[in-house]
Structure 1
Amino acid sequence: MHTLKQLNSGELQGITRLQIAAELTEFPRAIFSLADSLEILDLSDNQLSSLPDDFDQLSQLRILFLSQNKFTELPAILGKCPKLEMIGFKANQISYIAEDALPEHTRWLILTDNQLSHLPASFGRLTQLKKLALAGNQLVDLPESMTNCQALELVRLSANQLSHIPDWLLALPKLSWLAFAGNPFSHVEECLNDIVPMIHLDNLNLSEQLGQGASGIIYKAHWLDKPKSQQHLPDEVAVKIFKGAITSDGYPADELDCCLTTGEHQNLIPAIGQIHHDETLGLVMSLIPKGYQNLGLPPSLATCTRDTFTSGTLFSLDAITHIAKQMADTLKHMHQQRVSHGDIYAHNIMIDETFKVLFGDFGAASNLINLSGTQRAKMHRIEVRAIGCLLDDLLGLIQPEYPEYHSDKYHKLTELAFECMQDNLESRPDFSQLLEQLTRL
């Protein structure tokens, strides 16, 4: 984090990344003194509502974050920025985007939690767009020109006002991660699934925080008072408390419903209870046994839609095959229950020393029950592509200097990843076929 004093004094000359959060109401003109070097500008958490008309003077700017400000429309000057490719305006009050307000080379666009009801037809010009986050708006439709957005891989449409999912969206050749829960055609006002018991929050003592995601915080908990009907439950549990009424993934009730609708599977983190406490929703789960760790790390600004791994990470081909088989079986089960996951990534997969998988995080899950059979089949193949990307990421850790790189099994796994990622959805295997092919290796 930097200060206005540092900026105005000239001591930041030559920096490539600037971040200031100081209740700014006007864009600091001194930022233009950094035009020759500045690549990343983060002015999130201020009170800004406009950008200067000469903002495009920042000729080296690639990444712009202006989340949690006061913008009511997307500044049209962005379309003139020569190198800008990553744009974030989360949690503003944007209700209007002018035609051509976005650079044609935009790769990553975050407009979560705004007030958009329509997108301009010029979105179809964004042929390099890979990641698009639009959850928590008021969208009633999507422009058909977006059929030209052939590079789109990740799309978040949860918590809008869409009456249906357009067929052209499901046919996009690179689409791998799609979420649309919380729209009129795919939303539950209240989770009424009683597959697991209702648990009173007052009966649990929440202790250490175990983790945090977009939709909630996970705590370790033990019982203060375990009801007789729940004596079979473990003494220590994990409790996910959902954040508020809406998150970047959509509505908590939809996530809870998708999780419970999916039911049990040996590779899913077991859900053992649900919490409805005043306005608070929660999910009670088994604690993940010791020895489990995340398979990967979230995408970086550079990788955009693909996961990252700590330096030196390497998995054997047998381990990769075992992980892929478990994931294919898990996703086969989920789609049989008419639920898509939407976030099939290494960073959402946990493994132990034997490479047994535990999979969770239903924040981007969607209930497919109201989709046509054809659309459900397309959603199935979209998530097969995500498994292909996962395989590709894990295989990419094996460099040419390793003996396994030149093996027949490496070649076959690489071919299988390619099959899963084919542009033609119908040419991809389904999860049953994928599982069969992995089993034969």
Structure 2
Amino acid sequence: MHTLAQLRAGTLTGITRLDLSCGLTEFPREIFDLADSLEVLNLSGNALSSLPDDLHRLTRLRVLFCSDNQFTELPACVGQCATLTMVAFKANRIEHVPGEALPPLLRWLILTDNRIRELPTELGERPYLQKLMLAGNRLQRLPDSLRNCHRLELIRIAANCLTDLPEWLLSLPGLTWLAYAGNPLETEADAAALEATASIPWTALELEQKLGEGASGVIHRATWARPGQPDTQVAVKLYKGEMTSDGSPLHEMNACITASTHPNLIRVEGRIIGHPQQTAGLVMQLMEPSYRNLAALPSLATCSRDVYADDTRFTADVALRIARGIASVAGHLHHQGITHGDLYGHNILWNEHGDCLLGDFGAASFHATTDSLESRALQRIEVRAFGILLGELLERIDSGLSDERRVQLEALQQCCCQPDVLARPGFSEIVTELNNG
């Protein structure tokens, strides 16, 4: 994090990224002294409510973060920045989004957790739009112009006021990751499954070291004491209850429970009751340390694509074991009326044998279990996510794959990613194909 003193002293000349979070109420004009080099400007966590009309003087600016401020409108000057591709104004008080506030090269827009009721037609006139984060607003509809955004791959519209999913949305050729939980349109979670979940008293748990933390909650290692049984080592996830870019953490918890059991899911032992702060939480199976994340989160540069370590390589047996496991569990979820919404390598844990587990249900949504054009389309959107994952695995196989088998798998991958949504195979067909050969 940089300081205002450094900026004013001129010691930041030539930097490409500036991070300022120091209670700012006005945009520091000294930022313009960095115009020749500045590409990423992060002003999140201040008290700003406006930006200067001449913001476009930052001619190299590609990324603008202004989350956790006090904006009530997306500033029109943002749209004048010719090189700007990513705009983030999460957790402000934004009610109005003028069309002129959207830069021409817009690729990634984050407006999560605001007060937006309507979006401008101009949003669908941004041909490079690839990621759109709108969870936690008051939207009753999406602009029809978005049907023209054929590069749009990820959209988060959870926790709004939408009463239906437009047909054009479900037929977008590139749509891959969709989250819509917490809208009136969503099918309810399986009440029976929620009620059948074991209740685990908070007093029966002894928290130990923190294992990890994400947007929706914190995971600890813990000891679970039960009368008449040996103490059990478990993982405890305590949900934050705040809106995330995917949606509400409580929806995530319901999806974890409703998903039931599968060899490629982390087992849920029960729901926590009696927490002194009434914090919601789950007790889950503790994973062996041999498991690790398959990939890292997408970067500013890759936008919607995971980042793999340069040395990530698989044998054909390991890669196909991962592919079969994820196809199987995705099909299981669809049978339960759940779309995962975030089927990515960074949400998969794996070990050297190819054993794998799909985690992070933050973007999961419920749909009808009866077959319909809508449920089929929702499932086939997720098939495209699997197709991308399969392609990433195939790229990193270094041994054990014959040319004939590679051609077969590449054909399957292309079929999963074809632009005609309903022409893609379902996961039962995919599992059969992966098992052949």
Fold conserved between structures, TM > 0.5:
yes
How far residue 414 of structure 1 moved from its aligned partner, in angstroms, is 2.1
Unaligned ranges ≥5, structure 1: none
Structure 2: how far apart are the matches of 1:175 and 1:50? 33
* CA 32–187 in structure 1, closer or farther in 2 if over 3 Å, else same: farther
Give the match's secondary structure for 1:376: helix
Structure 2 match to 1:217: 218
1:254 counterpart = 2:244:
no
Structure 2: how far apart are the matches of 1:380 and 1:334? 10
How far residue 245 of structure 1 moved from its aligned partner, in angstroms, is 4.8
Aligned residue identity for 1:41: L
How far residue 56 of structure 1 moved from its aligned partner, in angstroms, is 0.5
Give the match's secondary structure for 2:200: coil
* CA 241–371 in structure 1, closer or farther in 2 if over 3 Å, else same: farther
* CA 244–344 in structure 1, closer or farther in 2 if over 3 Å, else same: same
Aligned residue identity for 1:256: M
CA deviation map 1:384-440 (0-9, x unaligned): 000011112222335xxx677883323322222111111111221110111111111
Structure 2 match to 1:111: 111
CA deviation map 1:120-162 (0-9, x unaligned): 1111102211111111111111111110111111111111111
After TM superposition, the structure 1 = structure 2 runs for residues 1-400 of structure 1, keeping only pairs within 5 Å, are 1-186=1-186, 193-223=194-224, 225-227=225-227, 231=229, 235-277=232-274, 279-369=278-368, 373-397=372-396
Structure 2: how far apart are the matches of 1:268 and 1:153? 25
Give the match's secondary structure for 1:163: coil
Between 428-437 and 249-258, the greater mean CA deviation after superposition = 249-258
* CA 336–191 in structure 1, closer or farther in 2 if over 3 Å, else same: closer
Q: Could you tell me the TM-score, scaled by structure 2's length?
A: 0.95
CA deviation map 1:246-271 (0-9, x unaligned): 33332233222212211111110001
Structure 2: how far apart are the matches of 1:189 and 1:374? 20
* CA contact 2:187–2:367 (8 Å) conserved in 1: no
Identity %: 47
Between 252-261 and 70-79, the greater mean CA deviation after superposition = 252-261
Give the match's secondary structure for 1:241: strand
Aligned residue identity for 2:415: E
Match of 2:424 among 418, 423, 428: 428
Unaligned ranges ≥5, structure 2: none
* CA contact 2:139–2:161 (8 Å) conserved in 1: yes
Structure 2: how far apart are the matches of 1:405 and 1:94? 52
Aligned residue identity for 1:393: E
* CA 419–141 in structure 1, closer or farther in 2 if over 3 Å, else same: same
Structure 2: how far apart are the matches of 1:328 and 1:355? 13
Structure 2: how far apart are the matches of 1:206 and 1:407? 51
Between 234-243 and 47-56, the greater mean CA deviation after superposition = 234-243
* CA contact 1:328–1:435 (8 Å) conserved in 2: yes
Aligned residue identity for 1:151: R
How far residue 190 of structure 1 moved from its aligned partner, in angstroms, is 11
Structure 2: how far apart are the matches of 1:218 and 1:379? 30
* CA 190–205 in structure 1, closer or farther in 2 if over 3 Å, else same: farther
CA deviation map 1:44-94 (0-9, x unaligned): 111111110000011110011111111110011111111000111111111
Structure 2: how far apart are the matches of 1:435 and 1:370? 20
How far residue 104 of structure 1 moved from its aligned partner, in angstroms, is 2.4
Give the match's secondary structure for 2:425: coil
Number of positions where the alignment pairs a residue of Structure 1 with one of Structure 2:
434
Match of 2:410 among 393, 398, 414: 414
Structure 2: how far apart are the matches of 1:15 and 1:67? 21
Between 331-340 and 275-284, the greater mean CA deviation after superposition = 275-284
Structure 1: how far apart are the matches of 2:307 and 2:142? 31
Give the match's secondary structure for 2:209: strand
Aligned residue identity for 1:199: I
* CA 425–309 in structure 1, closer or farther in 2 if over 3 Å, else same: same
Aligned residue identity for 1:426: L
Give the match's secondary structure for 2:222: strand
How far residue 220 of structure 1 moved from its aligned partner, in angstroms, is 0.8
Structure 2: how far apart are the matches of 1:111 and 1:377? 29
RMSD across aligned positions (CA)? 2.0
Give the match's secondary structure for 2:142: coil
* CA contact 1:191–1:257 (8 Å) conserved in 2: no
* CA 44–242 in structure 1, closer or farther in 2 if over 3 Å, else same: same
